Structure 1
Amino acid sequence: MIPIAKPQLDQAEIDAVSDVLRSGIIAEGQRVAQFEEAFAEYTGTDHAVAVNSGTAALHAALLAHGIGRGDEVITSSFSFIATGNSVLFTGARPVFADICADTFNLDPKLIEEKITPATKAIIPVHLYGHPADMEAIRDIAEDHDLILIEDTCQAHGAALSAKKVGSFGTGAFSFYPTKNMTTSEGGMITTNSREVAERARMIRSHGSKQRYLHEMLGYNLRMTDISAAIGLVQLGKLAEYTSAREHNAALLSKGLRAIEGIQCPIVRPGCRHVFHQYTIRIRERDALADYLKGIGIGTGIYYPIPIHRQPYYKELGYNDSLLVTEKASREVISLPVHPGVTEEDIATIVDAISNWGGLRC
């Protein structure tokens, strides 16, 4: 079986966790502080705040910027449910704009028509590891005095003109096991604002700067030193992992781009795509997924139902017509691209798709 995802863990992570366990300090402590400092340096931001999931990072980032009831936040419906739910958690309302057909990211040309007097923020999603058009989106945010929060959960190391995502606005990263790097579970907020960082630190720890003195409503969103120890090791390997993903993606594209009926991923000029997923488009998506599963090749569909079409969102009254998003949700399928995939595996994947009889123009 060639799996669609495989966390890359070895003795270094085991030793790092063992050191923490032997220390007796396993909750938030020195390792978390070290991880925050290293991650801020990696992303080119002034501050990083570790939390216990990517969802928590999005939620806390919104709260740290004062987003709340009565506010609207423009974002993408073609994402994991947490992108929309994190807005709902604050009492605000997500407003969905359509995406670009090639990168699957928010289409800047369609954002301004969604802006109302209630709009307070934009959350672009760097889907699959390709950066959104941050220069255009940042210009829109500045023109309308809107907060910019980046959903960077799939895009560790992705960049636009050498500037890493998570540094254009406030970033929210995930370290779920299948991400480009992991802490087992965890997340990180990146920002250049000291005020936002301080508020995020309070929000993650019951609204407190000082033990037993609570200045605001907060939550328990803390990362443990166990997770941070894994994260420090993984961050040191991230460049190697990213190069492997880029190499595997290039081999897949070389083998698949000549096959009629398949649209391979693109990388826009000036962008670094870190290939959290290698996602193709094909009209016969479900049939291809069944075929590949039958011969031992794992695939993933991210995402078969856009957020605005989810049952709960329908209950909330969402009935948007997002034609590009909805078409993509019927056609996308992701193929194994992670660092554990070998060149032999890629040849197997390419040969299997090339020889499949279900393709049509």
Structure 2
Amino acid sequence: MKPTLGEEEAQAVAEAVRSGWVAQGPRVAEFEKAFAASVGADHGVATSNCTTALHLCLYVLGVGPGDEVIVPSFSFIATANAVRYCGATPVFADVSAETGNLTPETVAAVRTDATKAVLVVHQGGVPADIPALKASLGGLPLVEDAACAAGSTLNGAPTGRGALMAAWSFHPRKLLTTGEGGMITTDDEELAARMRRLREHGMSVSAADRHAAAGKAIVESYGETAFNYRMTDIQAAMGLVQLRKLPGIVARRREIAARYRELLAPMGLRTVRDPEGATSNFQSFWVELPDAAPPVGDVLAALAEAGVSARRGIMAAHTEPAYAGHPHAPLPVTEHLTTRTLILPVHHELTEAEQDTVVAALAAAIGLQTAVH
């Protein structure tokens, strides 16, 4: 993966620097409104990254010590870490073999009286079945980790539309990047207002609003212990340009994914694909290795030797040292996917010749024939 950046982003960042307003200010507010509108949400709350966004979402729900939050193990470790930041316990649920996402059945298998919320991930940009999950939870709060999902759709609407809260990432591995950075979208005005205060030390009046009040002396107050989770105007300037490019980036990703599937189909390899009623942005393109193939580590080493930079499949947080001994239900699908999948190169400038090289190298690494010439 490499970000899709150009002269427009460079100029926007330079203009922010020349303006003298480089911390959280008017460009952040503009980016919040634009991004929220792009996913059909009423409010956007920009943050320093998606991990801090997830933390704020759980924090405003009152998640704390003694509470459990159901999460997939099949996700970057930040998903589980955000629960721990609140002093609560992440409870790992298994995922669908088809999508890599939580399902009503996998959530029900680990739900207890201590469950405070469910944190669902749209893994790799593949939308989870949010209507089914909501219908199964009986009012239990559902927070969406949409870190990878900008530009994906569910039932004809942008992923994240109608969410209680959805958290987004703008890390360089995502389709839309601000370097680092995150966002929370919600339709709840009170939640949005509180999270804006919490990201800025709990100040009753933001620094931007104080500076904008020319000729007036405004003294802020601090109603609760809070955090410094702010985005900068430099980042937001880049984000505004990236947001305009997002539809084209998604379209290009989907072209690349379709061609990968076409090339890999004769080899009998299962790959990530659109769920029914949804479209993925293909933030990641994973392929499942056959049982007879060598271990993923050996395949990755062979690909690297052939000049192909691939990556292991999505991690399983419960197998990492940070969560050693952490209680969880049996997670057979998670453990299979994390040990038998790998992620192939996908980025805006990937050429057909490069795709052919990737597929040929993969075929050679696992001992299969390829139709690529």
**TM class by smaller structure:** over 0.9
Q: Which amino acid aligns with 2:313?
A: Y
**Conservation of the 8 A alpha-carbon contact between 2:93 and 2:331:** yes
CA distance in 2, matches of 1:266, 1:312: 31
Q: Which deviates the most, 108-117 or 290-299?
A: 108-117
Instruction: Select which of 53, 64, 68 maps to 1:68.
Output: 64
**Conservation of the 8 A alpha-carbon contact between 1:73 and 1:123:** yes
Q: Does 1:199 align with 2:194?
A: yes
**Conservation of the 8 A alpha-carbon contact between 1:54 and 1:172:** yes
CA distance in 1, matches of 2:324, 2:365: 37
Q: Which amino acid aligns with 1:332?
A: T
**Conservation of the 8 A alpha-carbon contact between 1:131 and 1:160:** yes
SS of residue matched to 1:171: strand
Residue 131 of structure 1: how far off its partner (Å): 0.3
SS of residue matched to 2:242: helix
Q: Which deviates the most, 105-114 or 117-126?
A: 105-114
> 1:149 is matched with which residue?
143
Instruction: Select which of 323, 336, 342 maps to 1:313.
Output: 323
> 2:169 is matched with which residue?
174
Instruction: Select which of 252, 272, 284 maps to 1:277.
Output: 284
> 2:124 is matched with which residue?
128
Q: Which amino acid aligns with 2:86?
A: T
CA distance in 2, matches of 1:201, 1:214: 13
Q: Does 1:21 align with 2:23?
A: no
* Alignment deviations for residues 284-334 of structure 1 (CA, whole Å, 9 cap, x no partner): 322221111111111011334x1112212125x335421110111101100
CA distance in 2, matches of 1:159, 1:240: 15
**Conservation of the 8 A alpha-carbon contact between 2:274 and 2:280:** yes
CA distance in 1, matches of 2:111, 2:365: 46
CA distance in 2, matches of 1:6, 1:77: 26
Residue 263 of structure 1: how far off its partner (Å): 1.2
Residues 1:253 and 1:202: Cα distance change in structure 2 (over 3 Å) = same
Q: Which amino acid aligns with 2:261?
A: S
Q: State percent identity of aligned pairs.
A: 40
> 2:179 is matched with which residue?
184
> 1:138 is matched with which residue?
134
User: What are the equivalent positions in structure 2 for 1:93-112 lying under 5 Å apart?
Assistant: 93-112=89-108
> 2:271 is matched with which residue?
264
> 1:56 is matched with which residue?
52
Instruction: Select which of 149, 155, 160 maps to 1:161.
Output: 155
CA distance in 2, matches of 1:218, 1:94: 22
Gaps of 5+ in 1: none
**Conservation of the 8 A alpha-carbon contact between 2:3 and 2:177:** yes
Q: Which amino acid aligns with 2:336?
A: K
* Alignment deviations for residues 216-273 of structure 1 (CA, whole Å, 9 cap, x no partner): 121000000000000000001000100010000000000001203x211121221111
Residues 1:355 and 1:312: Cα distance change in structure 2 (over 3 Å) = closer
Moved over 3 A (4+): 354-357
Residues 1:357 and 1:106: Cα distance change in structure 2 (over 3 Å) = closer
SS of residue matched to 1:39: helix
For these two proteins, the number of residue pairs brought into alignment is 351
**Conservation of the 8 A alpha-carbon contact between 2:162 and 2:187:** no
**Conservation of the 8 A alpha-carbon contact between 1:102 and 1:265:** yes
Instruction: Select which of 261, 266, 282 maps to 1:253.
Output: 261
Q: Which deviates the most, 267-276 or 35-44?
A: 267-276
> 1:236 is matched with which residue?
244
CA distance in 1, matches of 2:368, 2:297: 12
CA distance in 1, matches of 2:133, 2:253: 27
Gaps of 5+ in 2: 206-218
> 2:216 is matched with which residue?
none
CA distance in 1, matches of 2:333, 2:161: 28
CA distance in 1, matches of 2:224, 2:100: 37
SS of residue matched to 1:14: helix
**Conservation of the 8 A alpha-carbon contact between 2:31 and 2:239:** yes
SS of residue matched to 1:150: strand
SS of residue matched to 1:75: strand
CA distance in 2, matches of 1:191, 1:92: 23
